[in-house]
């Protein structure tokens, strides 16, 4: 298919309601608020350092006197709580911290660095595009065979995560739910997938999409998780056939509420730019029917550049560690970003 013309601003026709048909009142309300802010405001975000805590926001607050609007947690070790107990804290803390964050007026986001479902390794990285000495060979294509051991293992892990999402539902928390991020990885000619959920023995895009849809169905219909807004992470590999690639991997509008992209620029000059081209491409990947978020970034984009150029990201979220605290990235830029009138922080929402 021909690429959309990027000379023009995308014309959005957003879906009226969340993709989960029986989304609860709180989730519909958050979706409505996001649509109200879309195009004129952008939400600040922070990423948990310990997967379950708000340490990154603590740093931001100490520097600016403001809290980020969104706190993101990671279910990375939820299926390995025993093995990783010395590194991480129990996931009951994630539930408690998320409820406290929401009670203080913030928005909760959760992602999942999903470790090898087979348990053969502790990895989420796969071989094709990594130089790591250890990696998983778990085959996402098992999702097409409900009788396979791999299918059963994936369902077990999904069910485990659901046990922690249910208390958040019961507490009235809508969640920005972003699993299976960066699935496409590199172009196949450059090694392919980074993570196992994008790496299969057959058509890896088809298998990844099927896993997304199976997860959506199991969480929605089996577990009754009607508090999730589903966030798909688009991948831009630099190929001229970007539109075909993006739409080939896209799970479908009926399973997605918001589309995002992760951008780690090579240098600060590039990173402080609006990322307009990536914004437009990501919008078109979902047919301009979904709000567009900068779901991870190395550098916070300059708010003036964002809004002057039309890259009106719904939210932005620098990664944790040095990306949050080092002056080489954002350590001394938070006050500029947070105090711009077009940026919404927790105090504003």
Active site positions, annotated: 182, 296
139 Cβ contact list (under 8 Å, min separation 6): 150, 196, 199, 200, 201
CA-closest candidate to residue 335, choices 106, 72, 66: 66
CA 241, CA 277: separation in Å to the nearest integer? 14
Contact between 306 and 274 (Cβ < 8 Å): yes
Q: CB–CB of 33/307 below 8 Å?
A: no
| Axis-axis angle for helices 276-285, 242-249 (nearest 10) | 50
Measured between alpha carbons, how far is 211 from 199 in angstroms, rounded to an integer? 12
Distance, CA of 13 to CA of 63 (rounded, Å): 38
**Rounded to an integer, what distance in angstroms lies between the CA atom of residue 274 and that of residue 178?**
23
Q: 294, 317 in Cβ contact below 8 A?
A: yes
Residue 287 parent element (H or E)? none
């Amino acid at each position: 298919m021909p690429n959309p013309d990027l000379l023009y601003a995308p014309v959005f026709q957003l879906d009226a309601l969340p993709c989960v048909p029986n989304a609860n009142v709180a989730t519909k309300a958050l979706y409505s608020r996001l649509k109200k802010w879309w195009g004129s405001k952008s939400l600040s975000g922070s990423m948990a350092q310990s997967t379950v805590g708000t340490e990154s926001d603590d740093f931001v607050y100490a520097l600016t006197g403001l809290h980020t609007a969104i706190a993101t947690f990671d279910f990375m070790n939820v299926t390995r709580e025993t093995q990783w107990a010395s590194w991480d804290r129990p996931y009951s803390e994630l539930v408690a911290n998320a409820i406290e964050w929401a009670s203080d007026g913030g928005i909760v986001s959760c992602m999942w660095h999903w470790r090898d479902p087979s348990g053969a390794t502790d990895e989420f990285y796969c071989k094709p595009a990594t130089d790591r000495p250890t990696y998983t060979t778990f085959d996402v294509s098992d999702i097409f065979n409900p009788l396979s051991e791999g299918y059963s293992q994936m369902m077990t892990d999904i069910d485990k995560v659901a046990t922690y999402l249910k208390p958040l539902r019961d507490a009235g928390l809508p969640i920005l739910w972003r699993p299976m991020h960066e699935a496409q990885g590199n172009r196949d000619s450059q090694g392919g997938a980074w993570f196992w959920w994008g790496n299969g023995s057959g058509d890896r895009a088809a298998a990844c999409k099927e896993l997304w849809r199976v997860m959506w169905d199991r969480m929605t219909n089996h577990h009754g998780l009607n508090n999730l807004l589903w966030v798909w992470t688009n991948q831009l590999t630099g190929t001229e056939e970007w539109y075909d690639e993006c739409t080939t991997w896209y799970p479908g509008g009926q399973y997605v509420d918001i589309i995002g992209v992760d951008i780690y620029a090579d240098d600060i000059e590039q990173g402080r730019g609006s990322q307009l081209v990536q914004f437009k491409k990501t919008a078109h990947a979902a047919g301009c029917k979904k709000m567009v978020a900068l779901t991870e970034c190395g550098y916070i984009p300059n708010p003036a550049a964002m809004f002057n150029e039309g890259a009106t990201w719904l939210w932005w979220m620098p990664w944790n560690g040095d990306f949050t605290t080092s002056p080489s990235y954002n350590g001394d830029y938070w006050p500029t970003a947070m105090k711009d009138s077009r940026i919404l922080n927790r105090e504003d929402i």
